[in-house]
Amino acid sequence: MKLASISGLTFQSSDLDRTVAFYEGLGLRVGKRDEQQATLYVNWFWITVSAVDGPVDPGTSSAVHIKVDDIQQAYEEVVAAGHKPAGEPAKRAGGGSEFELADPDGYRLVFFYKK
């Protein structure tokens, strides 16, 4: 089986407004939205976030890997937007470089560049 791409991701949030604002700040656009769920897009990729009562266990899902054209520029823009990555871009196994950023519920976003 050959996989062509990742189409989307679903997860839960203890504060839907905060999570939507976080992803909008990274450049995703809001599509469908109601009190219980929001779907955000970048090109064709979607993230659907469902509201839950009570806390969400931080980082309970796999990391989302986001390919960028310029890792240093991406890092600088994330920092300029007021976010705090886990570290600066570093070499990754298999080539290229990456840095990680946790969203408000602790889900890991891995920004990477690889030719």
Beta strands 97-102 and 45-51: pairing type? unpaired
Q: How many CB atoms lie within 10 A of CB 55?
A: 9
Q: What is the mean pLDDT of the chain?
A: 87
Average pLDDT of the residues in 66-71? 88
Q: How far apart are the C-alpha atoms of 56 and 11, rounded to whole Å?
A: 10
pTM (two decimals) = 0.72
Q: Does position 90 have pLDDT exceeding 70, yes or no?
A: yes
- For residue 110, what are the contacts with CB-CB under 8 A and spacing of at least 6? 63, 64, 65, 66, 98, 99, 100
Which tens digits make up the pLDDT trace of 20-63? 999 999 999 999 999 999 999 999 898 989 898 888 877 665 57
Average pLDDT of the residues in 71-78? 94
Q: Does position 3 have pLDDT exceeding 70, yes or no?
A: no
